[in-house]
Amino acid sequence: MSLLSIDELKNLVEQPKGLCVSIYMPTCRLGQETQQNPIRFKNLIRQAEELLVEQGLTQSEAGKFLQPAHELDDQDFWQHQNNGLAIFVADGVFHYYRLPLNFAELAVVTDHFHLKPLLPLLTNDGIFYILSLSQDQIQLLECTRYDVKEIELEDVPKNMDEALMYDETAKEGQFRINTTRGGTNNSFQRSGSYHGQGSPDRDNIKTDLLQFFFLVDRGIQKYLRGKNAPLVLTGVEYLFPIYREANTYPHLVEEGITGNTKISTPEELQSEAWQIVEPMFSQAQQEAIAYYQESAAAQRASTDIKETVPAAYYGRVEQLFVAVGVQQWGNFDPQNNSIELHPEPETGDEDLLDSAAVQTILNGGTVYAVEPEKVPDRAPLAAVFRY
């Protein structure tokens, strides 16, 4: 799969405790270079087996534990890759993701999955949506700066005729749509126009489009409800103001992609839309840095791992910058509220930066997974506390 959601991250976090293997590797997508994929894979599997043996398994038990991953290793699998591969194995659990990130090679064995390398897909590079509008096709795309996938829409009309149920032979002759006006909190209902035989609005294309877009907006709410990701419209420009009248999603972007976008590929639309939304994500990150600096001046921020990890676990971290590609090994005991740091990984250790980031997200905070030089004060992490 291409994209990860917060819910999928939670599923990985909430796997049963026990030995958990996390493997990350860069993958080549085309040509002769794809021959490097199985070589890297075998090396990382070998590292994971050695780590499992260090945890007390025999060589045979370690091989059996990783059998689901071994079964991926065939020529067809390696010919269908993205930029990176992430594999998660535990007792009775196996997940793998072809992802648009160039991971550093990494094999980790702890009592939970190592997830920090995934966070750029969920944080500062952001998810955004593209809604392609036309009278005969509706398409919703979920995107990051790295990738795009189409959302299979249910309960959303495929075209205007289907939405308005034009059937000149229908016995009823007309029907009526009730539509919601205003924002998401406005439940005021108004009666829609009549359509069908004898309808005075049968030739009023703007009225029909508005009715159509009310239904589209109603249908896509099941996919966008609770989201705060930007939504970019694509299509013929005259459709945009009509859709805006029907829209109830609060994060609809003012600028859209105009023209005959039906001939554009999803990847082309994603690239154009990223140019629109990227300044929004960059601005949010700059505002977050300024907020961190204000909070640090008010003694409500920290770069101290020993302070930040427990705070993240107990839901005190409002905002966290964390360095990608950097690990701080150790362990945190929530029962005793004690933390140990080690320069090299020891048996039972975890990456405490990973733990702080994941707990911050699960407790409703915001995480910016960035290059080390972009973390405020050049620390491995930088946190703003809620209290």
pLDDT along the chain (387 residues), means of 10: 65 81 90 82 96 94 96 87 92 90 90 84 74 92 84 87 60 41 36 40 75 93 87 95 95 92 86 93 89 96 96 96 91 91 87 91 87 92 96
Contact between residue 118 and residue 86 where contact means Cβ atoms under 8 Å apart: yes
CA distance linking residue 244 with residue 40, whole number of Å? 50
What is the pTM assigned to this prediction? 0.61
Assigned token pair, 24: 């990350």
What does the CA dihedral 234, 237, 242, 246 come to, rounded to 10 degrees?
A: 20
CA distance linking residue 263 with residue 62, whole number of Å? 51
Position 214 scores a pLDDT of 93
Assigned token pair, 174: 């007309």
Position 4 scores a pLDDT of 65
CA distance linking residue 263 with residue 279, whole number of Å? 26
Other CB atoms within a 10 A radius of the CB of residue 115 amount to: 22
Helix (H) or strand (E) holding 160: helix 160-164
Position 167 scores a pLDDT of 43
Alpha-carbon distance values, 330 to 110, 343, 381 (Å)? 11, 8, 15
CA distance linking residue 166 with residue 271, whole number of Å? 36
CA distance linking residue 156 with residue 301, whole number of Å? 45
Least Cα distance to 91 among 62, 65, 64, 57 occurs for 65
CA distance linking residue 181 with residue 103, whole number of Å? 46
Position 181 scores a pLDDT of 41
What is the DSSP annotation of 292-353?
HHHHHHTT-EE--HHHHHHHHHTT-EEEEEEETT---EEEEETTTTEEEEESS--TT-EEHH
- The secondary structure of 18-80, three-state, reads CCEEEEEEECCCCHHHHHHHHHHHHHHHHHHHHHHHHCCCCHHHHHHHCHHHHCCCCHHHHCC
CA distance linking residue 289 with residue 260, whole number of Å? 40
Position 187 scores a pLDDT of 30
Position 122 scores a pLDDT of 65
Tell how strand 106-110 and strand 20-26 pair up: antiparallel
Least Cα distance to 86 among 108, 65, 71 occurs for 108
Position 110 scores a pLDDT of 87
For residue 278, give the amino acid letter: E
Contact between residue 131 and residue 139 where contact means Cβ atoms under 8 Å apart: yes
Domains of the chain, with CATH numbers?
1-114 (3.30.960), 128-281 (3.30.420), 299-387 (3.30.1330.30)
What count of residues does the chain have?
387
Please enumerate in sequence order all residues whose Cβ is within 8 A of that of 353, keeping only pairs 6 or more positions apart, or say none. Answer: 116, 305, 322, 323, 326, 327, 328, 380, 381
CA distance linking residue 241 with residue 261, whole number of Å? 17
Tell how strand 128-133 and strand 84-90 pair up: unpaired
Alpha-carbon distance values, 371 to 209, 297, 376, 378, 379 (Å)? 46, 24, 11, 10, 11
DSSP label at residue 134: -
